[in-house]
Amino acid sequence: MSDKNAKLIYPAAELEIGLKVKKAVIGPSAVDISTLYRDTGLLTYDPGFLSTASCHSSITYIDGDQGVLLYRGYPIEQLAEKSSFLEVSYLLLYGELPNTAQLADFSGIIGHHTMINEALKTFFDGFHYDAHPMAIMVGVVGSLSAFYHDSLDIQNPRHREISAHRMIAKMPTIAAACFKHNVGEPIVYPQNNLSYCGNFLKMMFATPCEEYQPDPIAEKALNLLFILHADHEQNASTSTVRLAGSSGANPFACIASGIASLWGPAHGGANEAVLSMLEEIGDVSQIEKYVARAKDKDDPFRLMGFGHRVYKHYDPRARIIRAVSHEVLEKFADSNNPMFELALRLEEIALQDEYFVERKLYPNVDFYSGIIYQALKIPRNMFTVMFAIARTSGWVAHWMEMIADPAQRIGRPRQIYDGAPLRDYVPLDKR
């Protein structure tokens, strides 16, 4: 799907060159500049990839101006209302919704892989009890590559598929074990007759001394949050997984690199940062002061949970979470906890403020997810871990898509060098 119908004219170098435009099924077309350097000696410059498509992908589509998010063509609103996280994971991996038998089979396979090797448990002991769970997660998930390396041939589609299943299955077990390590409780084994989310809740909150039944409302809320976070096309962490994987690296190590990227406060770490910010604001009377700080260019403070690289409209995921948060908060929230009211008021004030309106800064998915996680008694430092569990299905889908793509090459950006020009070494005693 390409025509040579764009032209680059650069009079200073007497250059005029035709370029192909690759058409998307929906969304913006892309000028194909892949041979530009070879043909002209020129590079393109796009820090932060604001105008750069790094690959073809048929997994997720976002229209940031209209607030649209589709997984394999299906609107997020329909998936959030009607499907389960494992159904969505299947959809992301295989491209189609599963039928009843396929879903049962897939759930069974994921269940089969939920346990972690007993030897892996000793890795947790190497971390201090108060280590951040994302730090533990990066280390432990990366170390999975040591368990599945020599037996793994990433050029074999079946091997890739098994790796993807393992990753989706083991992530909740590892995440819950991170929490148990933090609180000094024994790791709880998975129980595979529970749903994916119910199993995670049990591994988080059960102890060997008491019966535990996951609460259906908590399970439903988690299922929804996991669906909403499952994929988001070429975001920072997914691009990191793809870049790491483009060299042929072990997929578990690639997912660990995605977890590291997700941790940052500008990405998945924002849900944790939102709660810290709301706590810092403390009271509705303080909102104006913090909004003024967010607008002050000399102040590094930003309203966490506001703004998005792609959405210049209300994040559709935020709209869905906002709508269901009342049910969860009514059932679980501490009635003395003013966070939700504070968040709603902050949202109202910011959405009317010229600064936020002009820049199209709307609440993103993380503005609300932390409040729900808090109501479910999930500690704040686990919020980004929750995001990582859900996003794993997107990461592995992208990794599989990339490795199977015949056009795939090692990712290797170029640069505009602006360091020192050629100079001679000066001996130590002459400096």
Active site (annotated) includes residue 181: no
Residue in 232, 267, 308, 398 annotated catalytic = 308
Return the axis-axis angle of helices 196-205 and 216-229, rounded to nearest 10°. Answer: 110
Q: Does 270 engage in binding with ligand ACO (CB under 6 A)?
A: yes
Contacts of 57 (CB under 8 A, 6+ apart): 233, 234, 398, 401
Least Å distance between CB 347 and ligand ACO? Answer: 12
Least Å distance between CB 389 and ligand ACO? Answer: 14
CB crowding 315-328: b at 16 or more within 10 Å, else e: bbbbbbbbebbeeb
Residue 307 vs residues 61, 92, 212, 275, 345: alpha-carbon distances, Å? 19, 26, 39, 16, 17
Q: Does 233 engage in binding with ligand ACO (CB under 6 A)?
A: no
Part in contact with ligand ACO (CB under 6 A); list of ranges 69-77, 94-102, 199-207, 363-371: 363-371
Of all residues in the shown chain, the one whose CB is closest to ligand ACO is 307
Least Å distance between CB 274 and ligand ACO? Answer: 7
Quick one: which H or E segment has residue 163? helix 157-183
Residues 144-183 that bind ligand ACO (CB under 6 A): none
Part in contact with ligand ACO (CB under 6 A); list of ranges 33-41, 155-163, 213-221, 357-365: 357-365
What is the DSSP-derived secondary structure letter of residue 313? S
Q: Does 293 engage in binding with ligand ACO (CB under 6 A)?
A: no
Q: Does 364 engage in binding with ligand ACO (CB under 6 A)?
A: yes
Residue 75 vs residues 100, 257, 418: alpha-carbon distances, Å? 21, 29, 45
Least Å distance between CB 321 and ligand ACO? Answer: 12
Active site (annotated) includes residue 153: no
- Measured distance CA(215)–CA(330) in Å, rounded: 14
Q: Look at residues 366, 352, 363, 368 and name the one whose alpha carbon lies nearest to residue 288.
A: 352
Terminal CA-CA length for the chain: 59
Q: Does 382 engage in binding with ligand ACO (CB under 6 A)?
A: no
Part in contact with ligand ACO (CB under 6 A); list of ranges 2-10, 13-21, 70-78, 358-366: 358-366
Phi, psi of 373 (to 5 degrees): -60, -40
- Measured distance CA(371)–CA(275) in Å, rounded: 7
Which residue among 19, 174, 342, 361 contacts ligand ACO (CB under 6 A)? 361
Residue number with CB closer to ligand ACO (153 or 296): 296
**Interface ranges with ligand ACO (CB under 6 A):** 266-268, 270, 294, 302-309, 359, 361, 364-366
**Residues labelled catalytic:** 308, 366
